[in-house]
Amino acid sequence: MDVLQISIAAMPFLLALMSRTRKAIAPCLLTSIITVLLGNEPHRAVMAWCVGVLIAAVALRERLRAS
């Protein structure tokens, strides 16, 4: 994997860092690591990435909603 693919795989973790509650960071980090490890199997990697982005998006939405 090159740097661009790794940075896209880390997007859920980076989004979770912006959330108000810190409960989403560990699952998003785990999904980012799984995405990188499953880089040779694109369908499984995309599924893990989508789950991570969904978790991070909900956490970020709650932060924006609370402000």
The DSSP line for 9-61 is HTHHHHHHHTSSSGGGHHHHHHHHHHHHHTTTSHHHHHHHHHHHHHHHHHHHH
For 5-59, how does the pLDDT look when each residue is reduced to its tens digit (9 = 90+)? Answer: 889 999 999 999 998 778 999 999 999 999 999 988 889 999 999 999 999 999 9
Q: Which residues contact 25 (CB under 8 A, 6 or more apart)?
A: 13, 16, 17, 19
pTM of the model: 0.87
The pLDDT of residue 11: 95
